[in-house]
Chain A
Amino acid sequence: MMDMDDGSDVSRVTIQSHRGALIASIQVDLEARVLRRFQSDLLEQVRSSKARAVIIDLTGVEVMDGADFDGLRRTIDMVSLMGTPTILCGLRPGVAAALVDLNVATEGLQTSLSLDRALDAIAAGESRDATLAASDGSRDQEPTDENPREKALDRE
């Protein structure tokens, strides 16, 4: 590995835009330089694309330690300072188990089982905000904290 500071040869995390969200799929080890590159790429895209939300997809991550997680957490905080929420999705069972053993800070994190769910949640949040804006204030459903999806499925 060449030691160049412009980071041009550092692995990059791919960031795509889809349905109004920025989706970053983590497939590489988040060591310091990769993380820094990812953060600057992501923040630049958040600024320029006016995305409604960021989704960090961890489906491809098999191993993650406390330091990796901290790095992610800081990235989420940075994005949040720019006024955009982040959803972590696709965390694997083994990784989740290891992270809680390491006692990582999970408070205030938005999470989702899968990329699809995350996208649905963002869309639902969108429609809810739209309804709030358009309506005269009366609502027939109580929003829940955990899941912004509001559609009631009637069953008989």
Chain B
Amino acid sequence: MTDPAHYARRTGAPDRTTELLSTYGIEAQDLERIATYGKLVVGKLDVYIDMFYTWLARQPDFDRFFSDPVKLEHVKTLQVTYWEEFFRARVDSHYVEQRELVGNVHARIGLPLPTYFAAMNYSMQIFLDELYDGSLEPAEYAATARSIMKLMNFDTAVVVDTYSVLTHRTIREQSDALMRMSTPVTAIWRDILMLPIVGIIDSKRAQDIMNAMLTAIADTQARVIIMDISGVAIVDTAVANHLIKITKATKLMGCECTISGLSAAIAQTIVELGIDVGNIKTMATLRDALAAAFRATGTAIRDAT
């Protein structure tokens, strides 16, 4: 299953940059045209900044993000550098990193993407119309405009990707926080606790679960605690280690931990992965676990006659 092209890419140029250049159809010719055009406008970047910020000050979000004059000056400096790099048209992994930085900064201050798009659009207008001195042949100008648009789209793609990664991260951090708040340990019988676990068990969550369980054991003096994992998405070696650790901790406190809700799929993965659960009692259903817990605590249930 060897893919020689893939291997060549991995040892040669950074593949993401190459992929992006290819996706936006940017070739050496495009970069040359941009660099040539750059010579016409790079000297007028101060004019660009003036025009851009006059326009920006009229946008609804301006006060929220750019009210601090010191910050504003800093941003303007960064922007000048951004366009100098753009018109130098040397697109390598460093160039891409710089664009990612822009994305990071914008995402972190919470600048809405539509505002970012509008700003890029207006910048293009300034460079291609306002600052153009008319010195190129019409055909050459048209081709240059196309090349500039391609590279701007390239830049936008990188920035948007960074936005979305950061947004996902935030969403996940928030849902993590939510998941962590829900470790409901219940006393389902005298001396018997139960905790249903749902979703993914990562190391942070495992620690929260363990803390919640151990505190509950100390508070209620439970002898048995049942961990129901029927809602757990997957059990791999890492998750198994977390669960084993939890049972060891409860054992140290004199409380036996039983795992219930072991599905056929999870039983399969545990064996295939060679995980040794040792002496931990595991059951398919909560009902079986409860019956075992009753036996362990010396409780017998009889029907009332």
Cβ contact within 8 Å between B301 and A113: no
Q: Do B245 and A153 touch across chains, with their CB atoms under 8 A apart? A: no
Distance (whole angstroms) from the CB of B277 to the closest CB of chain A: 13
Residues of B within 8 A of A139 (CB): none
Q: Which A residues are in CB contact (< 8 Å) with B210?
A: 97, 100
User: Do B295 and A144 touch across chains, with their CB atoms under 8 A apart?
Assistant: yes
Is the C-beta of B300 less than 8 angstroms from some C-beta in chain A? yes
Count class of interface residues, chain B? 20 to 34
Known: A96-B214, A97-B211, A146-B296. A88 touches B252 (CB 8 A): yes
Contact of A147 with B248 in the complex, beta carbons under 8 Å: no
Residues on B with C-beta less than 8 A from A99 are 249, 252
Contact assessment for B298 and A106 in the assembled complex, using a CB-CB cutoff below 8 Å:
no
Among A109, A146, A151, max chain B CB count under 10 A is at A146
In the assembled complex, which residues on chain A have CB atoms less than 8 Å from the CB atom of B245? 100-101
Cβ-based interface call for B254 (8 A): yes
Residues of A within 8 A of B102 (CB): none
Would you give the shortest CB distance from B226 to chain A, in whole angstroms?
A: 14
Give B280-305 as 1s and 0s: 1 = Cβ < 8 Å from A's Cβ atoms: 00000000000000011111111010
Also in contact, A113 and B253, with CB within 8 A (given A93-B215, A97-B210): yes
Cβ–Cβ < 8 Å partners of B298 in chain A: 144, 147, 149-153
Q: Which of B207, B218, B246, B250 has the most C-beta atoms of chain A within 10 angstroms of its own C-beta? A: B218
Q: Please state if B299 and A155 are interface contacts (CB–CB under 8 Å).
A: yes
Contacts of A150 in B (CB 8 A): 298
- Is B44 interfacial (CB 8 A cutoff)? no
A93 lies within 8 A of B300 (CB): no
A45 contact set on B, CB distance < 8 A: none
For A150, the closest partner residue in chain B by CB is B298
A145 to chain B minimum Cβ distance, whole angstroms, is: 9
B34 CB within 8 Å of chain A:
no
A-chain residues with CB within 8 Å of residue B250 when the two chains form the complex = 96
> Whole-angstrom distance between the alpha carbons of A111 and B247 in the complex?
13
At the interface, yes or no: B17 with Cβ under 8 Å from chain A? no
Interface pair A92/B218, CB less than 8 Å apart: yes
A residues near B297, Cβ cutoff 8 Å = 147
Min C-beta distance of B190 to chain A, whole Å: 9
B251 part of interface (Cβ distance < 8 Å): yes
CB-defined contacts of B300 to chain A, threshold 8 Å: 152-155
Interface residues of A in 46-103 (CB under 8 A from B): 88-89, 91-94, 96-97, 99-101
Give Cα distance in the complex from A96 to B252, angstroms: 6
Check A100 against B221 for contact (C-beta < 8 Å): no
Distance between Cα atoms of A96 and B207 in the complex (Å): 12
Q: Out of A92, A100, A113, name the residue touching B223 (CB < 8 Å).
A: A113
Q: Separation in Å of the B304 CB from the closest CB of chain A?
A: 5
Question: In chain A, what residue has the closest Cβ to B299?
Answer: A153
Within 8 A of B (CB), among A88-138: 88-89, 91-94, 96-97, 99-101, 106-107, 109, 111-114, 117
How far apart are the CA atoms of A26 and B255 in the complex, in Å? Answer: 21
Best-buried of B214, B252, B255, B296 by chain A (most CB within 10 Å): B252
**Contact of B254 with A113 in the complex, beta carbons under 8 Å:** yes
Q: Contact between A97 and B296 (Cβ–Cβ < 8 Å)?
A: no
Q: Beyond the given A100-B249, A114-B254, A155-B300, could you list 16 further A-B residue pairs with CB under 8 A, ordered by the A residue number?
A: A89-B254, A91-B253, A93-B253, A96-B214, A97-B214, A100-B245, A100-B252, A107-B278, A112-B254, A113-B221, A113-B253, A113-B254, A117-B254, A147-B298, A151-B298, A156-B302
17 contacts between A and B (CB under 8 A): A91-B254, A92-B218, A93-B211, A93-B218, A96-B253, A99-B252, A100-B245, A101-B245, A106-B252, A112-B254, A113-B223, A114-B254, A117-B254, A146-B296, A151-B298, A154-B300, A156-B304
